[in-house]
């Protein structure tokens, strides 16, 4: 029966691709290798199994994907796009879309994204983070907000209800922190970076009413930032070892290996925590939106068309076709069937019966609820990576104890921000 279903879905996908191929093929004849730089994603690895399909669709083109982890990918794409520009397709994200768009390193996506592939089907939140200055710049590969994931068994054993407020959350983290038993209250991100420790700190900052800028004037150096940092450092006392200089991998790894009681992380965590192949606690977890007043960190990563490597309109169309195919409904359906929860971005897929069948109604509700508190926490500006990374270093110093004065750190960042604004004008 399972084989029959797979056969039917494969035929359906093939038919859908064949029908779209006929209309696309007229638009672009691509024969070169499309070079892509990305960070590792199961969905992209899966694409590599279907190279023949893309070759047929494009008129003979191949693609080659180079993978780098998040921080290295950000550094490498920036260096490549600003210098030689050898990549046709860049993997960019909410934090650097403004920089890439403003610098002219990527082309407006929808000018080259074939209409048949239905860009409007993407989750509206992800479309929002892919948009800068009124134009869409990337097609999402992953994205979402935050969820609080907790160990039902540990909370039940301790008689603690799943926390819904920050005070309850901190109390639960304290109560469940038992290092002598190899269980840690939570796992935060300590590793420097606008997309690392700063990303996890920002929900506290925004939740306490903080704001980055008013016009060109930095306004973050105030009570909200101090309180957010104090709270973050307090919770860090109960964070798993290794997280002080660790990022997403360390935090999620500690949770899925059964050493963490509660974790607030980006939504793909749920897919990994629920997957018995990657999680030792797959049958013991529950999920809720982040406790109030924390905001969820709205984010989106995706593929964009490089301008330097794609000098001609035809080249841009080929890159656009690759992105459209890579993020198509058909390929997303394949990811769903492979259980790649974090790689799902299309409304039609996330509301499909197959999704409900695989993940149940609870996750759908949790995702819908967390959508209500998901916000853009970062400063939407081309200079954001500069500012965020600088705060990331100061925050890492505070976390690891090489600096102790929070206000002094924020004052230093304030001076940096003022200089940054002056330099960018």
Partner 1 sequence: MKNKTTLPWVFLTPAMVVLAVLALVPTVCAIVISFEDRELSRPDGNFVGFDNYLALFSDRRFVNAITVSLSWEVITVGFTMLIAVGLGILLFECVSPRTRNILAVLFIVPVILPRVSAAFVWKFAFHPLYGIATYPYKAITGQPLDLLSNPLTALGTVALVDVWQWGLFFSVIVLKLLETLPPQPFEAARLDHARAWEVYAYVALPMLKAPLISLAFVKMIESLRAFDLIYVMTRGGPGISTETLDMYAFSQGFIESGRISYASGMAVLMMIATSIAFTVIWKRAKI
Three-state secondary structure of 59-116: CCCEEEEEECCHHHHHHHHHHHHHCCCCCCEEEEECCCHHHHHHCCCEECHHHCCCHH
CA 230 to chain centre: 26
DSSP, residue by residue, 245-273:
G--HHHHHHHHHTT-BSEEEEETHHHHHH
Q: How far is CA 217 from CA 209, 228, 410, in A?
A: 17, 20, 15
To partner 1, the closest distance from the beta carbon of 412 in angstroms equals 9
With respect to partner 1, which residue has the nearer C-beta, 175 or 183? 183
Contact stretch for partner 1 (CB under 8 A) within 52-60, 69-77, 282-290, 367-375: 69-77
With respect to partner 1, which residue has the nearer C-beta, 244 or 266? 244
Q: How far apart are CA 34 and CA 174, in angstroms?
A: 51
Contact stretch for partner 1 (CB under 8 A) within 74-82, 205-213, 266-274, 275-283: 74-82
Q: Which helix (H) or strand (E) holds 36?
A: strand 33-38
**Binding to partner 1 by residue 66, rule CB under 8 A?**
no
Tokens 């600003």 label which residue? 82
Over the Cα atoms of the chain, what is R_g?
22
- Using CB under 8 A, pick the residue from 143, 190, 218, 289 that binds partner 1: 190
To partner 1, the closest distance from the beta carbon of 103 in angstroms equals 5
Q: How far apart are CA 366 and CA 350, in angstroms?
A: 13
With respect to partner 1, which residue has the nearer C-beta, 9 or 383? 383
With respect to partner 1, which residue has the nearer C-beta, 276 or 401? 401
**Binding to partner 1 by residue 423, rule CB under 8 A?**
yes
Number of residues that bind partner 1 (CB under 8 A): 37
To partner 1, the closest distance from the beta carbon of 395 in angstroms equals 9
Q: How far apart are CA 185 and CA 177, in angstroms?
A: 4
- Using CB under 8 A, pick the residue from 254, 262, 373, 410 that binds partner 1: 254
To partner 1, the closest distance from the beta carbon of 381 in angstroms equals 12
Q: How far apart are CA 227 and CA 209, in angstroms?
A: 10
Q: How far apart are CA 141 and CA 324, in angstroms?
A: 11
To partner 1, the closest distance from the beta carbon of 81 in angstroms equals 8
Contact stretch for partner 1 (CB under 8 A) within 87-95, 125-133, 306-314, 378-386: 378-386
Q: How far is CA 47 from CA 42, 226, 310, in A?
A: 9, 45, 22
- Using CB under 8 A, pick the residue from 35, 126, 334, 390 that binds partner 1: 390
**Binding to partner 1 by residue 99, rule CB under 8 A?**
yes
**Binding to partner 1 by residue 403, rule CB under 8 A?**
yes
- What is the binding site for partner 1 (CB under 8 A)? 71, 74-75, 78-79, 82-83, 99, 102-103, 179-180, 190-192, 240-242, 244-245, 254, 257, 259, 382, 385-386, 389-390, 393, 396-397, 399-403, 423
């Amino acid at each position: 029966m399972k084989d029959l279903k797979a056969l039917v879905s494969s035929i359906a996908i093939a038919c859908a691709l064949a029908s779209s191929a006929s209309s696309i093929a007229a638009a672009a004849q691509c024969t070169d290798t499309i070079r892509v730089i990305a960070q590792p994603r199961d969905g992209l690895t899966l694409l590599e199994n279907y190279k023949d399909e893309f070759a047929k669709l494009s008129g003979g083109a191949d693609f080659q994907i180079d993978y780098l982890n998040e921080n290295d990918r950000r550094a490498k794409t920036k260096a490549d796009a600003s210098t030689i520009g050898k990549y046709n397709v860049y993997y960019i994200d909410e934090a650097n879309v403004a920089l890439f768009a403003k610098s002219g390193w990527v082309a407006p996506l929808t000018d080259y994204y074939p209409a048949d592939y239905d860009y409007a089907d993407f989750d509206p939140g992800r479309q929002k983070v892919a948009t800068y200055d009124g134009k869409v710049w990337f097609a999402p590969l992953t994205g979402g907000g935050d969820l609080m994931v907790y160990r039902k068994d540990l909370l039940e054993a301790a008689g603690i209800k799943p926390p819904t407020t920050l005070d309850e959350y901190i109390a639960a983290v304290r109560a469940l922190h038992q290092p002598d038993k190899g269980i840690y209250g939570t796992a935060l991100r300590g590793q420097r970076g606008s997309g690392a420790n700063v990303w996890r700190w920002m929900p506290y900052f925004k939740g306490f009413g903080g704001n980055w800028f008013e016009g060109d004037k930095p306004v973050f150096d105030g009570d909200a930032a101090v309180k957010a940092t104090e709270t973050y450092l307090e919770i860090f006392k109960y964070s798993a070892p290794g997280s002080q200089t660790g990022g997403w991998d360390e935090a999620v790894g500690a949770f899925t290996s059964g050493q963490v009681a509660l974790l607030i992380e980006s939504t793909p965590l749920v897919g990994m925590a629920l997957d018995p192949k990657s999680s030792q606690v797959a049958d013991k977890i529950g999920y809720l939106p982040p406790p109030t007043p924390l905001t969820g960190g709205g984010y989106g990563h995706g593929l964009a068309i490089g301008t330097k490597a794609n000098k001609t309109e035809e080249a841009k169309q080929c890159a656009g076709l690759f992105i459209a195919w890579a993020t198509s409904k058909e390929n997303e359906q394949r990811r769903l069937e492979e259980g790649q929860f974090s790689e799902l971005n299309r409304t039609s897929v996330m509301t499909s019966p197959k999704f409900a069948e695989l993940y149940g109604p609870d996750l759908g509700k949790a995702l819908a609820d967390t959508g209500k508190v998901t916000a853009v926490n970062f400063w939407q500006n081309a200079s954001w990576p500069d500012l965020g990374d600088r705060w990331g270093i100061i925050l890492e110093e505070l976390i690891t104890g090489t600096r102790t004065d929070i206000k002094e750190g924020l004052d230093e960042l304030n001076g940096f921000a003022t200089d940054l604004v002056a330099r960018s004008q």
